[in-house]
Amino acid sequence: MCVRVLLVEDDERIRQALSLALSDEGFTVDEAVSGEEAFRRLETEQFDVVLVDLTLPGIDGLEVVRTLRARGDLPIIVVTARTDARDMIAGLEAGADDYVTKPLMASVLAARIRALLRRRGPGREAVRIGDLEIRPQEGLVHRAGERVHLTRTEFRLLLELAGAAGRIVTREQLLQKVWGYDYFGDTRLLDVHIRRLRRKIEANPDDPALLLTVRGTGYRIRS
Amino acid sequence: MRLTLRCRITLSFGFGLLVVTSVLAFATWNLASGYMLRQREASATRQAEVNVRLVEKSLSSPGLDELLTGLTTGPDSSILVIGPDGQVNAGRKVEASQLPADLVEHPPGRSRITVAGLPVIAVTLPVAGNAVYVELFPLQQLDRTFGFLGAVLIAGTIGSALLGAALGSWASKRALRPLAELSSAAVRIAGGDLRARLPDQDDPDLAALAAKFNSTAHALEQRALRDARFASDISHELRSPLTTMVNAGAVLRRRREHLPGTAGTALELLTSEVDRFARMVVDLLEISRADQTDDPPPEEIALDALVRNVIATRAGVPLALEPAVVLGDRRRLDRVLTNLLDNAERHAGGAVLVAVRVSGSRVRLEVEDAGPGVPEPLREQIFERFARGVMAGSRGDDTGSGLGLALVREHVLRLGGRVWVEDRSPHGSRFVVELTEF
């Protein structure tokens, strides 16, 4: 099955070069010049992943991410021009699953996309943690009987932690298993996702009772 | 050796006070001792005159001995009556021969002498024409008083000299405190911390100096920031075209077999240089960012676990890890270790040992290689930006950005540590990063 990628980028040369290189990596690439065009195309067509440059004319890249995230759990990778941590964190907070910085290489991007689209997780059995119920096969999470909407990345993150059954999972392990980073994953990527996840599954995200931080090491689920 | 300013101020205060108090002490001594001695002599003379009158009356009576014994004032005083037919002695035994002849032969007289080891005032008076009355008044008590007075004066002189030195030390420390602050601020600036400033001074003498120093430091900081921003701006502008080039290069490289011969070689050259260019821009951005402070709050990091994680993604290297926890930014430590390993690979055939050692409150991260080593004069230089050229012949097929070790140093400085390179026996070099243990 061919993976369809929507590339939202205003610089024409970058767009062309990236499409060519990503096609070489085996993806079907569609291009959009602006956020507006991206929304138009997403209404009528199906894509597997969206790449959004954060510096777009018209609708700002962050706004595009926010709108897309509000609509569903389509995987989003943001492309930031600045290494400035604020930009990257803002993109992740807006709902992106991952980020890459320019100059980005198609091979790296391809690895990121493949990791995002992987649907593997430990365990197939339904898991219960407190009032949380996770059904890996259906990809559903209920909290006190009510459905919780998680993105695919959030879901896989939760599943990795739940699969460890209360044992500590290090940041490196999480970055490797959820995002496919060999190493050098920015742990802030993980921190932002943990924050997002807590907002959805914790009664009080500021004082987590389920998803606990183990200082200096990683995280664990209260079993 | 030249003494420090503080030392000199301390010494001159001490010496000055020593001179003043010793002059005062000397004068006091002279006045007091002279006065006391004169008093004693006067009273001795008066007493002797009274005594002599009593002696005169009973000179030829047999009760003379008794009278003389009654007249003596203590066991150390003695009275002598020397007549033509012998001498009568009372109190401490004294022979006429022990007294200076001049004194005995020409009464009346008065003199301070030492008789049988005892300081005395001797008063001689003529009695009844041909006899001599001699009375010796002991000076022990006066001597003791003098001794005490002397000791008090000497102790006071020494004490005031010491007090002077202490005062000088305190005053100079106080006066030089702004200078010490200036020096520590200058050291911080020299060490790369351009935000070091002097506190405001309320002393008008110092305020001008502090203001000048601070404005100089501010200008320096602004300039460094401008330079960093310039490098960062350039790198930003280069990123977009680089993205295009790198990806177009990847597309071309995939079709390498369609370009035989010269064109193919040229293509390889082009794409590999584009890749290096991209790495350089990324490193340049990182180093200009390393100058700024957008660090997340420092966290506790298990250094041994971090090393194991980094090594797990690379070719195996022997490890010697002691458990150690440091406080800092994980990404910076990652980059430090990765860049050191890259450096070893590029210049020395790879690392042969990575160690974490704890000694006291210090933690050392060591990366050893068995390469040619780094000659002494270059050990500072290799941590400079673009210092790659300093190692003769190491350029070769080098694909590094020339910023790897400079980045290591920037990151280590931000982590509050030090980095240096030293010799490893029998050959090779050891890069040491020293941090404070949490």
Residue of B nearest to A100 (CA): B243
Q: Are residues B398 and B304 in the same domain?
A: yes
Report phi then psi at B322, rounded to 5: -100, 145
B300: nearest CB among A13, A86, A215: A215
The domain boundary, picked from B257, B290, B323, lies at B290
| Residue A36, domain member (yes or no) | yes
What are A41's two structure tokens? 């195309």
Q: Are residues A131 and A96 in the same domain?
A: no
Identify all chain B residues contacting A16, using CB atoms and an 8 Å cutoff.
244
Identify all chain A residues contacting B289, using CB atoms and an 8 Å cutoff.
83-84
Q: Are residues A67 and A22 in the same domain?
A: yes
Q: Are residues A106 and A19 in the same domain?
A: yes
Residue of B nearest to A24 (CA): B251
| Residue B430, domain member (yes or no) | yes
pLDDT in tens, B256-290: 888 888 999 999 999 988 988 888 888 877 777 66
Identify all chain A residues contacting B338, using CB atoms and an 8 Å cutoff.
184
- Statement: residue B382 has pLDDT above 60: yes
Nearest in space to B309 (alpha carbons), one of B331, B326, B287: B331
A76 by DSSP, 3-state: which? strand
Q: Are residues A93 and A138 in the same domain?
A: no
B302/A14 touch (CB, cutoff 8 Å), yes or no: no
Q: Are residues A68 and A37 in the same domain?
A: yes
B235: closest CA of chain A, how far (Å): 10
Rounded to an integer, what distance in angstroms lies between the CA atom of residue B371 and that of residue B344?
A: 8
| Residue B155, domain member (yes or no) | no
What are B276's two structure tokens? 């290096």
| Residue A122, domain member (yes or no) | no
Nearest in space to A69 (alpha carbons), one of A149, A185, A186, A174: A149
Q: Are residues A132 and A113 in the same domain?
A: no
Rounded to an integer, what distance in angstroms lies between the CA atom of residue A31 and that of residue A165?
A: 43
Q: Are residues A135 and A168 in the same domain?
A: yes
- Statement: residue B313 has pLDDT above 50: yes
Spell B280-290 as b/e; 16+ CB within 10 A means b: bbbbbbbbbbb
A6 by DSSP, 3-state: which? strand
Rounded to an integer, what distance in angstroms lies between the CA atom of residue B15 and that of residue A221?
A: 75
Rounded to an integer, what distance in angstroms lies between the CA atom of residue B354 and that of residue B307?
A: 8
The domain boundary, picked from B256, B290, B324, lies at B290
The domain boundary, picked from B131, B146, B161, lies at B146
Q: Are strands B131-138 and B118-127 parallel, antiparallel or unpaired?
A: antiparallel
Q: How many CA atoms lie within 13 A of B20 on its CB side?
A: 12
| Residue B260, domain member (yes or no) | yes
Neighbours of A29 (CB within 10 A): 19
Say if residues B3 and B127 touch (Cβ distance below 8 Å). no
| Parent domain of B261 | 204-290
Task: Please state which of the ranges A193-207, B102-116, B231-245, B257-271 shows the lowest mean pLDDT.
Answer: B102-116
Q: Are residues B285 and B267 in the same domain?
A: yes
Say if residues B127 and B52 touch (Cβ distance below 8 Å). yes
Residue B357 parent element (H or E) = strand B351-359
- The residues, any chain, with a CB within 8 Å of residue B429's CB and separated by 6 or more, are B348, B368, B369, B371, B373, B374, B421, B422, B423
The angle that helices A106-117 and A12-24 make with each other, rounded to 10 degrees, is: 60
- The residues, any chain, with a CB within 8 Å of residue A136's CB and separated by 6 or more, are A121, A123, A124, A125, A126, A127, A159
Q: Tell whether A89 is within 8 A of chain B (Cβ).
A: no
Confidence of residue B162 (pLDDT cuts 50, 70, 90): very high
Q: Tell whether A18 is within 8 A of chain B (Cβ).
A: yes
> Cα-atom radius of gyration of chain A, to the nearest Å?
17
Q: Are residues A67 and A29 in the same domain?
A: yes
Q: Tell whether B39 is within 8 A of chain A (Cβ).
A: no
Q: Are residues A164 and A110 in the same domain?
A: no
Say if residues A157 and A194 touch (Cβ distance below 8 Å). yes
One-letter amino acid for residue B166 of the chain: A
Q: Are strands A98-101 and A76-80 parallel, antiparallel or unpaired?
A: parallel
Identify all chain A residues contacting B251, using CB atoms and an 8 Å cutoff.
17, 20-21, 24
Q: Are residues B257 and B320 in the same domain?
A: no
Q: Which residues, listed in sequence order, are joined to residue A128 by a DSSP beta bridge?
A: A133
* B286 phi-psi bin (left φ>0, alpha ψ -120 to 50, beta other): alpha
- Strand ordering across the sheet containing A27-32: A27-32, A3-8, A49-53, A76-80, A98-101
A102/B325 touch (CB, cutoff 8 Å), yes or no: no
Q: Are strands B362-369 and B351-359 parallel, antiparallel or unpaired?
A: antiparallel
- Statement: residue B398 has pLDDT above 80: no
B338/A170 touch (CB, cutoff 8 Å), yes or no: no
Q: Are residues B310 and B397 in the same domain?
A: yes
Q: Give the CATH number for residue B44.
A: 3.30.450.20
- Per-residue tens of pLDDT for chain A, all 223 residues: 689 999 999 989 999 999 999 999 999 999 999 999 999 999 999 999 999 998 888 888 899 999 999 888 889 999 887 656 777 888 888 989 998 888 888 988 998 898 888 755 555 677 788 788 888 877 788 888 888 888 888 888 898 888 888 888 888 888 888 887 765 657 778 888 999 999 988 888 888 888 888 877 789 888 7
| Residue B426, domain member (yes or no) | yes
Q: Give me the count of residues in chain A.
A: 223
B244: nearest CB among A13, A86, A215: A13
Mean pLDDT of the B168-182 span: 84
* Overall domain count for chain B: 3
Q: Give the CATH number for residue A195.
A: 1.10.10.10
pLDDT score recorded for residue B79 = 84
Q: Are residues A94 and A157 in the same domain?
A: no
- Statement: residue B187 has pLDDT above 60: yes
- Statement: residue B395 has pLDDT above 50: no
- Statement: residue B390 has pLDDT above 70: no
Q: Are residues B142 and B69 in the same domain?
A: yes
Rounded to an integer, what distance in angstroms lies between the CA atom of residue B312 and that of residue A169?
A: 17
* Overall domain count for chain A: 2
Identify all chain B residues contacting A216, using CB atoms and an 8 Å cutoff.
299-302, 325
Q: Are residues A131 and A40 in the same domain?
A: no
| Parent domain of A199 | 127-221
What are A117's two structure tokens? 């689209």
Q: Are residues B135 and B256 in the same domain?
A: no
pLDDT score recorded for residue B289 = 67
B247: nearest CB among A17, A184, A187: A17
User: CA-based angle B173:B175:B180, to the nearest 5?
Assistant: 65
The domain boundary, picked from A117, A135, A170, lies at A117
Q: Are residues B309 and B400 in the same domain?
A: yes
Q: How many CB pairs under 8 A join A and B?
A: 86
Residue of B nearest to A87 (CA): B294
- Strand ordering across the sheet containing B131-138: B86-91, B78-83, B131-138, B118-127, B109-115
Neighbours of B425 (CB within 10 A): 6
Identify all chain A residues contacting B334, using CB atoms and an 8 Å cutoff.
183-184
Mean pLDDT of the B83-104 span: 77
Q: Are residues B44 and B129 in the same domain?
A: yes
Q: Are residues B23 and B110 in the same domain?
A: yes
Q: Are residues A137 and A109 in the same domain?
A: no
Q: Are residues B262 and B367 in the same domain?
A: no
B334/A184 touch (CB, cutoff 8 Å), yes or no: yes
Q: Are residues B282 and B303 in the same domain?
A: no
Identify all chain B residues contacting A106, using CB atoms and an 8 Å cutoff.
247, 250
| Residue B352, domain member (yes or no) | yes
| CB < 8 Å from B in window 178-207 of A | 182-184, 186-188
Q: Give me the count of residues in chain B.
A: 438
Say if residues B131 and B83 touch (Cβ distance below 8 Å). yes
| Residue B125, domain member (yes or no) | yes
B301: nearest CB among A14, A20, A216: A216
Greater confidence (B225 vs A14) lies with A14
One-letter amino acid for residue B287 of the chain: I
| Residue B250, domain member (yes or no) | yes
Q: Are residues B107 and B55 in the same domain?
A: yes
Residue of A nearest to B336 (CA): A184
Q: Give the CATH number for residue A42.
A: 3.40.50.2300
User: What's the helix, strand, coil split of chain A in %, to 5?
Assistant: 40, 20, 35
- Statement: residue B433 has pLDDT above 80: yes
pLDDT in tens, A100-115: 888 888 988 998 898 8
| Residue B354, domain member (yes or no) | yes
Say if residues B379 and B420 touch (Cβ distance below 8 Å). yes
pLDDT score recorded for residue B391 = 56
Q: Give the CATH number for residue B369.
A: 3.30.565.10
pTM recorded for the entire structure = 0.62
The whole-chain average pLDDT of chain B stands at 84
pLDDT in tens, A4-13: 999 999 989 9
A103/B312 touch (CB, cutoff 8 Å), yes or no: no
